[in-house]
Amino acid sequence: MEDVTVLTVAGCDQRGCVDGVGTTAQFSQPSGLHFDPSSGRLLVAEVSNQRIRCVFPGNPGFKPVLREALQFLAEMEGGIAVTPLLSLIVEYSCGDGMQITAQRVYRLSFIVYRLSFVLFRLCRFRPLQLTIRGCRLLPVTWGGAAAGAVITILGCGTNMFRNGTGCLDAGFVTPYSVCADPLHPSNLYIGDATSIRYADTANDFVSVVVGGSIGGFADGIGSRAMCTDVSSLLCTHDGKALYFADSGNDAIRSVDPTTRQARTIVCVDPQATATVQSTSSLYNPHKFAWDRTRSVQAESALFITSATGISRLTLATKELVTCCKLGLAMPLFGILSTPSGHLLVALADRNSICVLDYSKRVADGPFELIAGGGRMLSCHDSESVVPVPVPVIDGSGGRARFSEPRDLVVSEIERCLYVADSNFNRIRCVQLPDHLFSLLYS
């Protein structure tokens, strides 16, 4: 679609682990995304860097907002209809010499995002410079996504299994996925290969929910449960259940975060304890998403991408059915369901973001291209990390290029999709035109 625009939010051709703003930041195989609409933060799980990063609008060097400014926000924000977000760089000139840490910046991103709601409403697309108690806010772009600040919030960068005090001292092996705790949004669940970890950022502590340093397949409590390659995580809105894709065991499982009891829901292994009423196979499940179709009860079913296509799992009955069978030649990664009954998917070997009308599906689609397409592209050759020439990858619809997009999330406020473009080592933004967004989300 030519009226779709693809932009780079953060990352560049150089693979690495560098915090910064926009294209000064570096990633290495971003694989999992989580977008929190209440705070505007985009969480990124990086397999090769063994870290969790945070991308958000603003400048990572700012100082805290005063209590009076927060009270102003609380009074002004209520009842405001949020339109596409005004992206901001925030500069604080308090000059109080307060030490700025990654964790403090991460928590303050909640404040900045809510403040941007108010400013966007007030300025109505006009350039604005506003000073509140020594806090100067300068708009950079209007609508859509701008180059965001990137900070590391979890992980030491060493391939190891380590918990305990110090979020930046924690060791991860291959963190494929991340999601926020809905009861404590600054805290995170991380799917790390053979375990699920919990990061309490307020107390700077990382612990194990289930699993451990050794993979396997077993239900149980805490470290007695075993899993292999946790590739996707979803938490219910009340925080009472955490669902995860156990890719190495071809299973969809759940855990009670309070008791840490892990249970298998469905599994293709006939020896497994789960009861499967299935007309679908479930080999190597990658990502899943809630079925958000208007006619479906909230958080009652999952759409799942796997090596064989797309399946739908009804949690109450454990019924697993095939929605779209594609075969091993077309691996799938990210997926989203929309209220209109459409599915947004990241097709890895086609390097594209596509939409599928679930109500009109057939065995192999049909998929309609939104952005990307073309052969597999990479910023690096297969033998080294030396950059090789690549075409221009940002642009409109089909002219833009991805290289193995692994996950995607939606920001309904900004009317865009965020994509983990794994081989290009970037976080991308797919800006949806009004007519397409209205079709999918109105």
- Residue 246 sits at the vertex; the CA angle it makes with 244 and 247, to the nearest 5 degrees, is 125
325-337: pLDDT as tens digits? 775 455 668 999 9
339 pLDDT more than 50: yes
278 and 380 in a single domain? The answer is yes
Does residue 20 fall inside a structural domain? no
DSSP string, 289-351: EE---TTS-TTSEEEEEETTEEEEEETTTTEEEEEEE--TTS-EEEEEE-TTSEEEEEETTTT
For residue 134, give its domain range: 67-142
For residues 197 and 272, membership in a common domain is answered with yes
Q: d(Cα 128, Cα 198) in Å, to the nearest integer?
A: 40
Q: What is the pLDDT of residue 21?
A: 81
- SS3 percent helix, strand, coil of the chain, rounded to 5, is 15, 45, 45
Task: Examine residue 50 and state whether it is found in any structural domain, yes or no.
Answer: no
**Quick one: pLDDT band at residue 138, thresholds 50, 70, 90?**
very low
Identity of the residue numbered 73:
L
Shared domain for 235 and 330, answered yes or no, is yes
In this structure, the answer to whether residues 232 and 122 fall within a common structural domain is no
Query: Do 237 and 127 share a domain, yes or no?
Result: no
Domain boundary pick from 142, 169, 204: 142
pLDDT at position 282 is 79
* Pairing mode, strands 319-325 and 277-278: parallel
The domain boundary residue, chosen from 119, 142, 165: 142
In angstroms, rounded to a whole number, what is the distance separating the alpha carbons of residues 319 and 313?
A: 6
The β-bridge partners of 135 are 92, 132
pLDDT at 412 over 50: yes
Q: List the beta strands (DSSP E) in 63-127.
A: 86-92
Q: For residue range 265-281, what is the model confidence (pLDDT) as tens digits?
A: 998 764 545 544 444 56
Please check whether residues 329 and 243 belong to one and the same domain.
yes
How many separate domains does the chain show?
2
The confidence score (pLDDT) of residue 196 equals: 97
Asked if residue 164 belongs to a domain, the reply is: no
Same domain, 77 and 192: no
Both 239 and 330 in a single domain?
yes
The predicted pLDDT at position 367 comes to 79
Is position 28 within any domain? no
- Supply the pTM of this predicted model: 0.77
Residue 355 belongs to a domain: yes
- Averaged pLDDT, 133-153: 48
Of the residues 91, 112, 142, the one at which a domain ends? 142
Structural domain includes residue 405 = yes
Residue 216 and residue 138 share a domain? no
Residue 132 included in any domain: yes
Non-local CB neighbours of 302 within 8 Å, separated by 6+ positions: 234, 243, 252, 288, 289, 290, 291, 312, 313, 315
Label residue 128 by pLDDT band (50, 70, 90): very low
Cβ contact 222:211 at 8 Å = no
**Do residue 111 and residue 206 come from a single domain?**
no
Q: Give the domain CATH number at 224.
A: 2.120.10.30
Between strands 261-267 and 277-278, the pairing is: unpaired
Give yes or no: residues 113 and 187 share one domain: no
Q: Are residues 221 and 334 in the same domain?
A: yes
For residue 342, give both structure tokens.
């459409």
Q: Is residue 327 assigned to a domain?
A: yes
pLDDT at 239 over 90: yes
